[in-house]
């Protein structure tokens, strides 16, 4: 995530940079290589399965974040929407309470899913509601409240139709999204 943030910062400082698109492409390639690795064990226990699902949710989130923030694709673009769909399925399979629920809960992945995918808003909402049934997470309520406020907004991102080929010519909509989140939620969402 820090490398993605670095690329976004460099792009903001110099939108003519040829290094950022190349670096972003390489990062994406590395993320896809990670995506193809997984357990090859014929039987894995429920704890291992939960850890793998959570790790996969974070991996999908990194891909979505790179595509949206650095490559400036909107959530409706196929290269983003297919990962949002996969993330929704993954989140539905991750426990929100009980024995296999850990401190490694995918709060950012769930938040981004609810923020970027109107179609899967219910998946994020359901996850937060299930987590909040057991009062163990102090950061979850304010994050969920901030997410619910975003559902009242009109989308900030551009249409996926007729996107310019060059990253530098695309609208930096993620930065506008972060500015709006800062106004609405203050420093609570510093992970963005």
pLDDT tens digits for range 99-133: 556 566 788 999 999 999 999 999 999 999 988 88
DSSP state, residue 68: I
Q: Label residue 43 exposed, middle or buried (CB < 10 Å: 0-12, 13-18, 19+).
A: exposed
Residue 16 near residue 66, CB atoms below 8 Å: no
Q: pTM to 2 decimals?
A: 0.89
Residue 19 scores a pLDDT above 60 = yes
Q: Which residue in this structure is represented by tokens 């991996």?
A: 59
Distances (CA, A) of 12 to 6, 62, 139, 180, 181: 10, 19, 30, 17, 18
How many domains does one find in the chain? 1
Instruction: Spell out the residues 6+ positions from residue 67 whose beta carbon is closer than 8 angstroms to its own.
Output: 28, 73, 77, 79, 80, 83
Residue 125 near residue 114, CB atoms below 8 Å: yes
Residue 45 scores a pLDDT above 60 = yes
Please report the pLDDT score of residue 126 as a whole number: 95
Residue 174 scores a pLDDT above 70 = yes
Distances (CA, A) of 170 to 69, 71, 85, 102, 161: 11, 8, 24, 39, 12
115: containing domain: 2-189
**Per residue in 54-100, pLDDT tens?**
889 999 999 999 999 999 999 999 999 999 999 999 999 887 766 55
């Amino acid at each position: 995530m820090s490398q993605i943030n670095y690329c976004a910062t460099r792009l903001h400082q110099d939108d003519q940079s040829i290094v950022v698109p190349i670096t972003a492409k390489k990062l994406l390639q590395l993320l896809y290589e990670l995506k193809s690795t997984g357990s090859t064990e014929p039987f894995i226990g429920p704890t291992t399965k939960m850890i793998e699902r959570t790790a996969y949710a974070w991996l999908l989130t990194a891909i979505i974040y790179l595509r949206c923030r650095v490559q400036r694709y909107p959530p409706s673009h196929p290269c983003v929407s297919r990962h949002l769909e996969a993330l929704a399925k993954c989140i539905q399979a991750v426990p929100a309470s009980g024995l296999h629920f850990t401190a490694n809960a995918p709060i950012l992945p769930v938040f981004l899913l609810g923020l970027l995918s109107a179609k899967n808003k219910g998946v994020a909402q359901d996850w937060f509601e299930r987590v909040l049934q057991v009062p163990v997470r102090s950061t979850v309520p304010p994050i969920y409240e901030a997410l619910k406020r975003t559902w009242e907004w009109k989308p900030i991102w551009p249409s996926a139709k007729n996107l310019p080929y060059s990253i530098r010519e695309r609208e930096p909509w993620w930065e506008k999204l972060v500015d709006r989140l800062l106004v609405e939620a203050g420093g609570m969402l510093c992970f963005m």
